[in-house]
Structures are given as C-alpha cells and as structure tokens.
C-alpha cells in the first residue's frame, strides 16, 4: 500500500485472487415494509438496502440510539439507519455488552422503525442468546417491525457459535420466503483475539465461515490499517464494513481499499453526551442561559421532524 499526494495507490496483495462482491440472494425473497405512516415503499426493501452496498461510495451510517436520533439522521441525509447497540443500551439505562433485555431492545426498535422512511438495520449483538432458535425468534420479531438488516457478532465466542446462528437465520428466511441483510461482525481485531501478525488471516478465516453460512456482509470493527483493510476486502466475497476510528481514511479512500460500508458505531452518542455533560456542568456552575442556546437546534425544527407521526 502506498500513499502519494493524498491518493491511495493499491499494491499487489497475496489476498488479491478473491473478488469483493456481494452475496447472491438465497432462495425466494419477500420484502418487508416499515410501518411508518410516511414511508416510501421503493426505498424500504431489503433489495434496496442490499443495493446500497454496491454503490460507487461506501454506505455511510451514522448509528442511531433512539427514535429521535434516527429521525434526525434521516433528515440529515442518511440513506439508511443502523442502530448502535452501545448507544441503545445506554439510552435505556443498561451497560453495553449483551446486558439489554430483549423486550426492551425490540420496543426501542419499534419506536425507531415508526419514524423512518429509509431502511433500518439493527445491531443485535450476539442475538442475546447462544441458542440459534432464540435468535431466530428475535429475528422474526424484527422482521415483523420492518427491519431490513441486522448485525450479529461473534464477540469472544467460538466462530462455530455464530456460524450456527447465521445458518439458522438463513434457513428460517428461506422457509418463510423472507429476506434480511445479515451483517456478520467479527471482533478478532477489536477484542485482540489473535496476535497482530495473525489477525488478518484469522479475520479472513472467520469471514469464509460466515459467508458459507449465509452472511451478506462482514463487519470488522477496529480494522483501520489501510493494508489490512485492503487484504480483508480482497479475500472475501462479502461487502466489508468498518467502523469510524481516529486516523481512519475518509470514505473515498476507504472505497478504493474495498470498503463498502462505514459505521459510526457509538461515536456520535459519545460525542453528544460529552457535549451534554459540558453544557449541564456549565449551567450548574453558573446558571447562565446563553450557552444553552448557542448551538441548539430550534424547537420548531425538531418538532417538525415528528409532525407526520402525530
């Protein structure tokens, strides 16, 4: 990998023989529409969401954590909305890390889906269960809400556990004539599950397993070195999803490396809550009102975002 004058020059890679293409659809498909009162059916199909991963630039997702943030991000121009499991858990009073009760998660997703007109993808962590049947039951509930995609992770579990879950989801979708974009997340890099010299190979090994099981995409949070990004992208058929990180190249450069999806993760809620804490501390210390309105979005504009849902 070489970089000159801001332009990335791709160099030969030992992983180059594989192609970076999206998985073909498996079995007969049925599109699920959102329940929003102002939805655009043409923009709310799994086929459309899948096509967003084949565009001329990465699909950029500013992950939402509640209905308000989801609606705001769509208004800002997001072509699709994905949730952040950390932000969602925090907003409901739980720590991140598989601690969110399933019913609370589904309730939050229902509220988010109601206000959107673009595809919604939901981060379900590990499916909140090690039992593939329980994960399938959750998937069915999400499909009933109009969800178009999910992220499901291996975490520190053996790859065989996530493989079994993806296979169960794919079998259920085929059996019910339904469709869903299944984005398989591997935490090899983020959780340090392999030595630095071996993490690309281990990521690719898991990507191969998850692809064979029926995954539609590959999410590798923490992957940020250009050469490693390129190697993973070239070695898998799945569209590669990376997560925003300090020092990560911009979307155009990432696309040249093979990235097809870029997620903010929990960065935006962390930013918002950092700013909110500073504002609260300042108000508590001084009681001055002016700083509270300096960068505030006008009340009427926020209210208008939800006018159609009243």
- In this structure, which long-range contacts are made by residues 87-95, counting pairs with CB atoms below 8 Å and at least 24 apart in sequence? 87/63, 87/266, 87/268, 87/269, 88/123, 90/65, 90/269, 90/273, 91/65, 91/66, 91/269
pLDDT at residue 4, as a whole number: 35
Q: Is pLDDT of 253 > 60?
A: yes
Number of folded domains that form the chain: 1
pLDDT at residue 42, as a whole number: 59
279: in domain:
no
Residues 92-100, mean pLDDT to the nearest whole number:
95
241: in domain:
yes
Domain ranges, residue 164: 24-266
15: in domain:
no
Q: Is pLDDT of 298 > 50?
A: yes
pLDDT bucket at 310, cuts 50 / 70 / 90: low
Say if CB 93 and CB 295 are below 8 A apart.
no
303: in domain:
no
CB atoms within 10 A of CB 94: 16
188: in domain:
yes
Q: Is pLDDT of 35 > 50?
A: no
pLDDT at residue 24, as a whole number: 36
Residues 235-241, mean pLDDT to the nearest whole number:
99
Burial category of 16 from C-beta neighbours within 10 Å (exposed 0-12, middle 13-18, buried 19 and up): middle
pLDDT in tens, 38-89: 455 656 799 999 999 999 999 999 999 999 999 999 999 999 999 999 999 9
Q: To the nearest whole number, what is the mean pLDDT of the chain? A: 90
Task: Give the residue with greater pLDDT, 10 vs 164.
Answer: 164
Residues 204-219, mean pLDDT to the nearest whole number:
99
SS3 label, residue 259: strand
Residues 218-232, mean pLDDT to the nearest whole number:
98
Residues 166-182, mean pLDDT to the nearest whole number:
99
209: in domain:
yes
Residues 102-119, mean pLDDT to the nearest whole number:
98
- Between strands 2-4 and 7-9, the pairing is antiparallel
pLDDT at residue 44, as a whole number: 74
CA quadruple 187, 189, 190, 194: dihedral positive or negative?
A: positive
Q: Is pLDDT of 36 > 70?
A: no
288: in domain:
no
Task: Give the residue with greater pLDDT, 170 vs 8.
Answer: 170
The share of the chain scoring above pLDDT 90, in percent, equals: 84
Say if CB 45 and CB 55 are below 8 A apart.
no
pLDDT at residue 41, as a whole number: 61
SS3 label, residue 31: coil
Residues 12-39, mean pLDDT to the nearest whole number:
40
285: in domain:
no
Q: Is pLDDT of 17 > 90?
A: no
The share of the chain scoring above pLDDT 70, in percent, equals: 85
How far apart are the C-alpha atoms of 194 and 187, rounded to whole Å?
A: 10
CATH code of residue 196: 3.20.20.60
How far apart are the C-alpha atoms of 60 and 261, rounded to whole Å?
A: 6
């Amino acid at each position: 990998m070489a970089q000159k004058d801001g332009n990335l020059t791709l160099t030969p890679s030992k992983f180059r023989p594989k192609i970076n293409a999206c998985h073909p659809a498996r079995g007969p498909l049925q599109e699920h529409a959102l329940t929003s009162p102002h939805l655009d059916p043409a923009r709310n199909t799994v086929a459309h969401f899948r096509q967003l991963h084949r565009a001329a630039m990465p699909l950029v997702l500013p992950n939402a954590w509640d209905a308000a943030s989801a609606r705001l991000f769509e208004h800002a121009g997001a072509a699709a909305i994905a949730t952040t499991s950390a932000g969602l858990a925090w907003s409901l009073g739980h720590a991140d890390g598989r601690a969110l009760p399933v019913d609370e998660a589904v309730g939050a997703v229902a509220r988010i889906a109601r206000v959107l007109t673009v595809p919604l993808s939901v981060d379900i962590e590990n499916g909140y269960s090690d039992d593939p049947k329980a994960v399938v039951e959750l998937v069915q509930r999400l499909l009933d809400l109009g969800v178009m995609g999910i992220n499901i992770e291996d975490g520190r579990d053996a790859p065989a556990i996530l493989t079994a879950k993806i296979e169960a989801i794919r079998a259920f979708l085929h059996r019910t004539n339904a469709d869903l974009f299944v984005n398989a997340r591997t935490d090899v890099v983020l959780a340090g599950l392999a030595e630095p010299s071996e993490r690309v190979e281990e990521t690719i090994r898991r990507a191969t397993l998850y692809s064979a099981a029926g995954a539609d995409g590959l999410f590798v949070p923490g992957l940020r070195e250009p050469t490693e990004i390129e190697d993973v992208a070239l070695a898998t058929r799945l569209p590669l999803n990376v997560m925003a990180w300090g020092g990560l190249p911009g979307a155009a450069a990432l696309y040249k490396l093979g990235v097809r999806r870029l997620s903010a993760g929990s960065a935006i809620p962390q930013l918002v809550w950092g700013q909110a804490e500073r504002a609260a501390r300042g108000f508590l210390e001084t009681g001055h009102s002016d700083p509270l309105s300096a960068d505030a979005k006008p009340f009427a504009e926020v209210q208008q975002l939800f006018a159609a849902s009243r």
